[in-house]
Homo-oligomer: A and B are copies of this chain.
């Protein structure tokens, strides 16, 4: 792994960095393909929203872009992760104006099984809940113990992802993804106003639905609604969209993954149509 810390090629930070002390910061996971950062404007928007919420000074966009470019020039498809912490501080929660720590790192492209997309995945249902915390909802902050514990609940490759419910049993998200369901040609996705991460692909799907007149509702989603769905899929920046074929004993139809130019509306699989839209 290569990384830049505040613009300098390095991989060590101070133990006094508040990212390490308190998880006091934000991150973004980007796909960079032959020099092109996918969905940059949405990642940047979320990072800025996080800075505002946590009172962390926003980095200069051009600086960040040049650092990403520096690390990823000449490579194919890789992952770039940005971590922005509040910086090095004293003991104790209080902080004054500080210089943030900016880490940009390069990671190999993860090779997922092709069948995750082609045949769909099976979802695990996690016991670890997502806590309702309006002060942190939506942003991609570094306090990720919930996701770590939820992801640790299953160890087999049978499940490609696990879904997490809030403390009242509403379906919120996957450990590393957002979730949508299709019912009667209508798209539904959990309301994330009190917990969960506003995913970049989730946002693109919402935008796509608006521009293409696809009916979509952001609402409370129960396990019963999932049970009853026609299609279910998950999404994130790295995987794009994966159809879900099974949750517990419930199975969902997964339309064939056609070549993009062969997908048309008559295929009646909203999941595949959205994949087509996303990839265009």
A residues adjacent to B (C-beta < 8 A): 1, 3, 5, 11-24, 27, 29, 54-55, 79, 81, 83, 85-86, 91-95, 103, 105, 107, 110, 128-129, 131-136, 141-152, 167, 175-176, 194-195
Bound complex: CA A37 to CA B16 (Å) = 22
Nearest Cβ on chain B to A175's Cβ, whole angstroms:
6
Shortest distance in angstroms between A28's beta carbon and chain B's nearest beta carbon?
A: 12
Sampled A-B contacts (21; CB under 8 Å): A13-B13, A13-B20, A21-B83, A21-B144, A22-B147, A23-B23, A24-B148, A54-B148, A54-B149, A81-B91, A93-B148, A93-B176, A95-B148, A128-B135, A129-B135, A131-B195, A135-B145, A135-B146, A141-B145, A142-B145, A167-B194
The CA of A105 and the CA of B91, in the complex, are separated in Å by: 10
Provide the bound-state CA to CA distance between A143 and B95, in Å. 16
Which residues from B are CB-within-8-Å of A148? 18, 22, 24, 54, 86, 93, 95
Known: A11-B15, A14-B11, A83-B20. A94 touches B146 (CB 8 A): no
**Contact between A145 and B23 (Cβ–Cβ < 8 Å)?**
yes
Distance in angstroms between the alpha carbons of A193 and B97 in the assembled complex = 35
Establish whether residues A144 and B19, one from each chain, have CB atoms under 8 Å apart when the complex forms: no
Additional A-B contacts beyond A131-B195, A167-B194 (14; CB < 8 A): A1-B16, A11-B16, A15-B103, A20-B142, A22-B148, A23-B23, A23-B144, A54-B145, A93-B147, A93-B151, A94-B151, A132-B167, A134-B167, A142-B145
